[in-house]
Amino acid sequence: MKLSGLSVFFPCFNEAENVEVLLQNALSVIPHYAEKFELIVINDGSRDNTKKQVLKLAKLYPQIKLINHQENLGYGAALKSGFKAARYPWVFFTDADLQFDLKELKEFIPFTKDYQAIIGFRLKRAEGKSRTFNAKLFKSFIDLLFRVHVKDIDCAFKLFATKLVQSFDLESNGAFLSAELLYKLKKQNVKFKQIAVHHYPRIRGNPTGANLKVIIKAILDAMKLYLSIKFHRLKQHQW
């Protein structure tokens, strides 16, 4: 089974060591799952040669497109740029760090008949005990506030109906964006399918998800949305 059209995008920050391998792999794999496709790289203010590498490949392959943020705006901002740029009926994203296998998208495609959102969850996180523990704490925090109760909140392997995700008014520019997406699926009573995917160690480049500033911003964004929801409900009750 193939999708009629698929937009694939990759948020990138300083992924020059990975992006060429990633795109060559995508050019090989994605045609098996979609009649038409595009590969979009969101270069989120990289300070290395990420942009140069993408432009080099874009000259050779018309399916490759670059969206360039002059400054580092954050993971959520990169995702929002990717969703906005998507022009095919389905949109898929994953990170550029080569920690996921694009071939596992094959398992998602059959469920597009019955679901508008198919999200991956990692069978086992590959970043080590410390980051796995932090992820569990963050998941518990998000579940306490928003009760999304999914197996893996921030797994970067997700497939959406493009019209659905483009209809969301997404706010966060940081790492909280993944949780915000899940909350808005819940709010609109959109059923989604969860599928296990493998997660592999990063071989090249440096991760940014464990950065303290990234974590603090995600927590603050979560609290901002939560308080906004509570304030809106309070105003409705008063009226």
pLDDT in tens, the chain (239 residues): 899 999 999 999 999 999 999 999 999 999 999 999 999 999 999 999 999 999 999 999 999 999 999 999 999 999 999 999 999 999 999 999 999 999 999 999 999 999 999 999 999 887 766 666 777 777 787 777 888 888 998 899 999 999 999 999 998 898 889 989 999 999 899 999 999 999 999 888 676 655 667 777 778 877 777 677 655 454 554 44
pLDDT of residue 233: 52
**88 Cβ neighbours under 8 A, 6+ residues apart:** 3, 4, 5, 6, 7, 34, 36, 37, 38, 162
pTM confidence score = 0.89
pLDDT of residue 170: 92
Domain count, the chain: 1
The residue range of the domain holding 180 is 3-238
Residues 166-190, buried b or exposed e (16+ Cβ, 10 A)? Answer: eebebebbbbbbbbbbbbbbbeeeb
CATH number of the domain that residue 84 is part of: 3.90.550.10
CA dihedral sign, ordered 157, 162, 167, 173: positive
pLDDT of residue 130: 67
pLDDT of residue 41: 98
